[in-house]
Structure 1
Amino acid sequence: MASAASPRSHGDREEIARLLPAPAETRLSPEQHLHHKERLLNQIDNDRAGQSRPEPRRMPRFVVPATALALACAVAAGITLTGHEQDDVSAQRDSTVSMRPAAALLDQISAAAGKRDTPVVRDDQFVYTRKKIREADLTSGTAVLSPLKDFEKWLSQEPGPVRKQGLVRTDGETAAINAELGDADGTPAGMSRPTYRWLSSLPTDPDELLTYLYANTPLIEEREPDQAVFDTIGYLLGGVMPPDTAAALYRAAAKIPGVTDTPKIQDAIGREGIGIAREDTRYGNRTEWVFDREDFTFLGSSSTLTKETPYGKPGTLLSSSAEIGHGVVDEAGHRPADADAPEANRAS
């Protein structure tokens, strides 16, 4: 199990803040902050390696060295919950949990996920994921949505630190997924590299799992901790996952305050389903998960604005995805034989 990152001292954060210009007022979701921080840190990686284009990593960074943090703080500041903050969050969570419609739906989704079979995954293999994605580019100051893209990823299942985490391919262009910046010996399995074995090590009791997630999920300053944990669960969903872990994640999500159900929703390619959603009311961003109405498989997710911001009006789409295929292969870059089948290896 991955251990919690040590929170930086208040003095360290103040010192870094003094070195940086005052940040502009923005209303980005945690997902968008992490996306732009990834772009910045990937550019640092590429400058060091002499590469000509950035690597499209899509995994949140959970440990950032001080030199990189000083550069990345202009975009996002990652911290973890202290003991008192965890107690406050737990008290709020326990006082608001009830069998509301969202909780009842997540109970059904959890039961279905717990019954699914998954392939055997060896440590020397790669978990394959294929999606369709759309993402908003915010560099111009206005959200400009990309066309629908084909996205594939091969994630190494090696438990120990690895320098090459796998491969990612976007619209036919392939790039290596290198170790996290600052991981000189490579990146171990954990929340930023969730291997099948690591997922199997997570608590399957929903309360214990949620406590672990609140303790280990990084926060974007002034964003809601509940939303950060909800988005972390969304990041872990889909793909090849131990059934018990998938079931526990959904039951844990049901205990997060503010989670609601959405009777009718679509994924990035227009497949209709039912949804689970949560809005960060401080900054007006809504994250939604889409599930098949019949068998409750995870179809995809989306993020939209719910308030007027410099980037767009309420309803502006920031990102959208559709899960297409999953599997296990012996070599990065190779697809499973049935990866293109409509019902092949659907997500948990």
Structure 2
Amino acid sequence: MNDRTTGACPERDGDREEIARLLPVPACRDLPRERHLRHKELLMELIDRDQAAPARTRTRPPFRPALRLPRPALLVPATALALAGALAAGLALHDGGPAPAAGGSHGAATDMAPAAALLGRLSTAAGERATPAVRDDQFVYTREKTRGADLTSGKAVLGPLTDREVWAAQDPKPLHKLGLVREGGETFALNAEFGDTDGTPAGLGRPTYRWLGSLPTDPDKLLTYLYAHTPHAEGRGRDQAVFEQIGALLGGVTPPATAAALYRAAARIPGVVPAPQARDAIGRRGLGIARDDTRYGVRTEWVFDEKDFTYLGSRSYLVEDTSYGRTGTLLSSEAELELAVVDKAGQEPDSAG
């Protein structure tokens, strides 16, 4: 990777340094630091390319996929999303297409009956599923396999399948240490979100079991809450942002009534469809729910077991040819292998006593 802090134009180098300084390290270890820096490098290249191109030749910027989230979800800080949104908005000025709606609507579409039926079955199963009691002093443990594409070269280069373990603290108080991630043979602390000098409280960015239980269980009220509070970058559709936010909450230890409401809320988002060929990161085929981000030509899928409707994983891939690859190119995927509640960060479930 080239050093983006040096070059022939001091003013532009200074701008890049300032942007890089403002971009925070993610609150979670969803991406290893090296891959995070590569994505930052790609962003700098996109800015340079847009500034250098004549205005009449500028077109829609290529897709920049959302970061995949560890489970339970630990969101990218809102400040990072706001900055990314400002940069994306600057690039999107040259889109030439219609501007996205400011708010987004969650009115149910009329052609979503198949997806609504499947999500209804998932909701019923989730509402009847027994979940372990989770104390505030415990940790939710998740073991999964993940893989993602590196976009540094301008093409999507798929990385290897990686083992990852996450211990998410359930303490509802604002925390400076949110848990642990073990990936690639290394263990990293989950630190408070950027800007949370007093610690990160429970919420969408840190969905503890107690906080999840406080959400509305009426699907319409829950969806209204999610549309009002889900962070998203300007230029991205609001419906897609909320769909991905719900996906980030799936697969963890969630109160049954909340889990049931999440599926029924998803059924009310326009554009949600069944995905019969859905597979997770290790190839397990199951019942699929999907939504296409038509702006960037990317489909996001959730995968569920065909027998008991438990969450298996997710994936995202291109559904149209782009500069990053041809239709079908995989961008990210995960497979959830184990979910448990333990007493300490770093403790394996089989050692819990």
What is the Cα deviation at residue 287 of structure 1? 0.3
> Take 2:85 and 2:216, find their aligned partners in 1: how far apart are those partners?
32
Correspondences of 1:1-348 after superposition (within 5 Å): 24=50, 25-28=60-63, 32-34=65-67, 59-64=74-79, 73-74=86-87, 85-86=102-103, 89-90=105-106, 93-94=107-108, 96-97=109-110, 100-337=113-350
Question: Which residue of 2 is the match for residue 344 of structure 1?
Answer: none
The answer for unaligned runs of 5 or more in structure 1 is 1-15, 39-54, 78-83, 340-348
> Take 2:182 and 2:88, find their aligned partners in 1: how far apart are those partners?
26
Please give the TM-score of this superposition, normalised by the length of structure 1. 0.76
Question: Among the aligned pairs, what percent are the same residue?
Answer: 58
What is the SS of the residue equivalent to 1:228?
A: helix
Q: Is the 8 A contact 1:130 1:152 kept in 2?
A: yes
Query: CA distance change for structure 1 residues 172 and 211 in 2, over 3 Å: closer, same or farther?
Result: same
What is the Cα deviation at residue 71 of structure 1? 7.9
What is the SS of the residue equivalent to 1:337?
A: helix
> Take 2:268 and 2:304, find their aligned partners in 1: how far apart are those partners?
19
Q: Is the 8 A contact 1:153 1:168 kept in 2?
A: yes
Q: Is the 8 A contact 2:89 2:235 kept in 1?
A: no
Q: Is the 8 A contact 1:33 1:76 kept in 2?
A: no
Question: Which residue of 2 is the match for residue 3 of structure 1?
Answer: none
Query: CA distance change for structure 1 residues 258 and 149 in 2, over 3 Å: closer, same or farther?
Result: same
> Take 1:171 and 1:76, find their aligned partners in 2: how far apart are those partners?
35
Q: Is the 8 A contact 1:161 1:188 kept in 2?
A: yes
Structure showing greater Rg = 2
Q: Is the 8 A contact 1:26 1:310 kept in 2?
A: no
> Take 1:296 and 1:207, find their aligned partners in 2: how far apart are those partners?
23
What is the Cα deviation at residue 330 of structure 1? 0.8
Q: Is the 8 A contact 2:143 2:339 kept in 1?
A: yes
Q: Is the 8 A contact 1:33 1:75 kept in 2?
A: no
Q: State the Cα deviation string for residues 8-48 of structure 1 (Å, max 9, x = none).
A: xxxxxxxx9xx97577453325xx2446xx9xxxxxxxxxx
Q: State the Cα deviation string for residues 66-86 of structure 1 (Å, max 9, x = none).
A: xx9658854689xxxxxx954
Length, aligned pairs only: 290
Letter in 1 for 2:79: V
> Take 2:217 and 2:77, find their aligned partners in 1: how far apart are those partners?
22
> Take 1:247 and 1:97, find their aligned partners in 2: how far apart are those partners?
22
Q: State the Cα deviation string for residues 277-299 of structure 1 (Å, max 9, x = none).
A: 00011110100011111111110
What is the SS of the residue equivalent to 2:275?
A: strand
Query: CA distance change for structure 1 residues 76 and 160 in 2, over 3 Å: closer, same or farther?
Result: farther
Query: CA distance change for structure 1 residues 268 and 34 in 2, over 3 Å: closer, same or farther?
Result: closer
Letter in 2 for 1:28: F
Letter in 1 for 2:286: G
What is the Cα deviation at residue 261 of structure 1? 0.4
Question: Which residue of 2 is the match for residue 12 of structure 1?
Answer: none
Please give the TM-score of this superposition, normalised by the length of structure 2. 0.75
